[in-house]
Amino acid sequence: MITFENVSKQFTGSEGTFTAVKDVSFEVQKGDIYGVIGFSGAGKSTLIRTVNLLEEPSSGKVYVNGRDMMTLSADELRKERKKIGMVFQHFNLCESKTVFENVAIPLRLSKTSKKDIQPRVKELLQFVGLGDKSDHYPDQLSGGQKQRVGIARALATSPEILLCDEATSALDPDTTQSILDLLKRVNREFNITILIITHEMQVIRDICDYVTVMENGEMIESGSVFDLFSRPKAKTTRNFVNAVMQDQLPASVINMIHKEGKSNRLYRILFEGDEAGQPVLSQVSKQYHLDFNILHGQITELQDQPFGNLIVEFIGEENNIQQAVEHIGNRLTVSEVNINERD
Ligand SMILES: Nc1ncnc2c1ncn2[C@@H]1O[C@H](COP(=O)(O)OP(=O)(O)OP(=O)(O)O)[C@@H](O)[C@H]1O
Ligand SMILES: [Mg+2]
C-alpha cells in the first residue's frame, strides 16, 4: 500500500546541508495500522510528509498503491492526494468556520455537489461522536473534540490511507485513549490503512500492528508490535519499551539488592500467548523446593495476546535453581539478569 524505498531527505540552509531522513525502507500493507516512533527531531514528520509529497524525497522512492508519487502529473497527484487523509497534532482547524464547515472543506475543494455535502458531513460527525456540535466553533471545543473534527475532515473524501502526525500528543491520557479507539474504528470499519507517527510508545502498543523505530533520521529497528515489545534489540527501542512495559529493573530495586548483598539469582521470564495463564512458577517452586520473589514486571496485552515479562529471584539450592531454570526454559523464554551490567 505504501512503500518507502531508500528514502532520504536533505535540507540545505545557510549552515549547510542537513540530512533529516537517511535511507529509510519499509512497507505498509493494506489494512494495517503502522507506527513510526522516535524522539523529537528523528525525522518522523519529514518522512510521513513524503507520502503525499508535501516533502519530496531527495533520493529514493515512495510508492502508494504501487505508483511512484514523483512521476505523477499535477492532476494525477491531486487525485492521489484525495485518497490520503491527514491528521495533525494541533488539529489545524479553521477557527472562523463552524465544525460543519471545517469538515466540509475537503468536500467543497473536491467540488462535491451541495446536496451531497450535508448528509456526508452529518454522517461523519455522527461517526466521530460530534453529531450535536455541528454549529459550534473550534474554540468552543475541547482538544479531544477538535481532534475528532480533524479526523472527520480527514475522512471526508473517503481516503484509503490516513496519515497521523502526532495525533494524540497534545491530549491528556484519557482523551488520547478515546482518540486511539476512534482511529481503531476508522481502521476496522472502513478498512483504512493508517500510518501514525508518535513519540509515545503507548500509542504504538495500543493500536499498531507494526512499528519502525527512527533515530537521527535512520531506521534502527522494525517489526511486529509483539516482536518488538517482547524482544527489543536496539538500546533506544529498549528505552521506549521500558517506558510502557517496565521490562528493566528500576534503580531502587537494584539498590535494594546491592544493600542486601544477595547473590545474582535473578531471571527474566517472558510469558507469551496461552502460556501467560500457566502456573509455571508455582510448579517449579514445588518441584525443586525453591522460593521465588517477583521483583519487577507486568502482565499485559500486546496485539490482543497476553504477554508477561517478569524478573524473578530464585532462592534455594544452586543445583535446584539450575534445574528449575532448565524446566522453565523448555516452555518459556528465560534468561539470567545481571544487575551489574545495566544497559
Ligand atoms: N524545512 C526544513 N528545513 C530545514 N530543516 C528541517 C526542515 N524540516 C525539518 N528539518 C529538520 O529535520 C530534522 C527532522 O525533523 P522532523 O520534523 O522530521 O522531526 P520529527 O521526528 O517529526 O520531530 P518532532 O517529534 O519534534 O515532531 C530536524 O532536525 C529538523 O530541524
Ligand atoms: Mg514531527
Q: Which three cell numbers mark 15?
A: 549552515
- Ligand 1: residue whose CA is nearest its atom 6: 11
Of 211, 244, 277, at which residue does a domain stop? 244
Nearest to 36 by CA among 177, 200, 155, 180: 200
Cβ–ligand 1 distance for 49 under 6 Å, the answer no
Beta strands in the chain (DSSP E): 2-13, 16-28, 33-37, 59-64, 67-68, 84-88, 161-165, 193-198, 210-215, 218-224, 266-272, 291-302, 305-315, 333-336
pLDDT at 276: 63
pLDDT at 54: 93
Query: What is the side-by-side order of every strand in the sheet holding 16-28?
Result: 16-28, 2-13, 59-64, 67-68
Q: Are residues 182 and 286 in the same domain?
A: no
Q: Are residues 188 and 316 in the same domain?
A: no
pLDDT at 271: 85
Q: Are residues 117 and 214 in the same domain?
A: yes
Q: Are residues 192 and 289 in the same domain?
A: no
Give a three-class secondary structure readout of 23-74: EEEEEECCCCEEEEECCCCCCHHHHHHCCCCCCCCCEEEEEECCEEHHHCCH
* CATH code for the domain of 282: 3.30.70.260
- Ligand 1: residue whose CA is nearest its atom 31: 41
Contact in structure between 8 and 57 (CB atoms under 8 Å)? yes
Report how far ligand 1's centroid is from the alpha carbon of 43 (Å): 5
Contact in structure between 87 and 154 (CB atoms under 8 Å)? yes
* CATH code for the domain of 27: 3.40.50.300
Which own/partner contact pairs does 227-235 have at CB distance under 8 Å and 24+ positions apart?
Answer: 229/205, 229/302, 229/307, 230/270, 230/272, 230/302, 230/307, 230/309, 235/343
Report how far ligand 2's centroid is from the alpha carbon of 228 (Å): 22
Query: Structurally, how many domains does the chain consist of?
Result: 2
Q: Are residues 197 and 330 in the same domain?
A: no
- Within the chain, how many helices (H) and strands (E) appear? 12, 14
Position 341 in a domain? no
Cβ–ligand 1 distance for 213 under 6 Å, the answer no
pLDDT at 298: 83
CA distance 68 to 300: 40
CA distance 230 to 233: 10
pLDDT at 264: 60
- Ligand 1: residue whose CA is nearest its atom 17: 45
| 240 three-state secondary structure | helix
Position 284 in a domain? yes
Q: Are residues 15 and 70 in the same domain?
A: yes
CA distance 210 to 27: 10
Strands 2-13 and 67-68: unpaired
- Ligand 1: residue whose CA is nearest its atom 1: 11
pLDDT at 117: 96
Q: Is the dihedral of CA 7, 153, 150, 183 positive or negative?
A: negative
Q: Are residues 209 and 65 in the same domain?
A: yes
Position 15 in a domain? yes
Q: Are residues 86 and 220 in the same domain?
A: yes
CA distance 111 to 324: 70
Position 342 in a domain? no
Distances (CA, A) of 92 to 53, 88, 97, 147, 342: 18, 7, 12, 9, 43
Position 117 in a domain? yes
- Residue 57: give the domain boundaries: 2-244
Of 190, 220, 244, at which residue does a domain stop? 244
pLDDT at 277: 61
Q: Environment class of residue 283 by beta-carbon count within 10 Å: exposed (0-12), middle (13-18) or buried (19+)?
A: middle
Contact in structure between 22 and 8 (CB atoms under 8 Å)? yes
Position 343 in a domain? no
CA distance 194 to 33: 5
Residue 340, by phi and psi: left (phi above 0), alpha (psi -120 to 50) or beta? alpha
Nearest to 232 by CA among 270, 176, 281: 270
Cβ–ligand 1 distance for 40 under 6 Å, the answer yes
Position 35 in a domain? yes
Strands 2-13 and 16-28: antiparallel
Q: Are residues 238 and 250 in the same domain?
A: no
Q: Are residues 238 and 285 in the same domain?
A: no
The atom number, within ligand 1, closest to the CA of 43 reads 18
Of 220, 244, 268, at which residue does a domain stop? 244
pLDDT in tens, the chain (343 residues): 999 999 999 999 888 999 999 999 999 999 999 999 999 999 999 999 999 999 999 999 999 999 999 999 999 998 899 999 999 999 999 999 999 999 999 999 988 999 999 999 999 999 999 999 999 999 999 999 999 999 999 999 999 999 999 999 989 999 999 999 999 999 999 999 999 999 999 999 999 999 999 999 999 999 999 999 988 999 999 889 888 877 777 888 888 877 876 656 889 998 887 766 668 888 899 999 998 888 888 888 888 888 888 889 888 889 999 999 999 998 888 988 877 755 4
CA distance 153 to 127: 12
pLDDT at 333: 87
Q: Are residues 235 and 253 in the same domain?
A: no
Q: Are residues 211 and 252 in the same domain?
A: no
Position 196 in a domain? yes
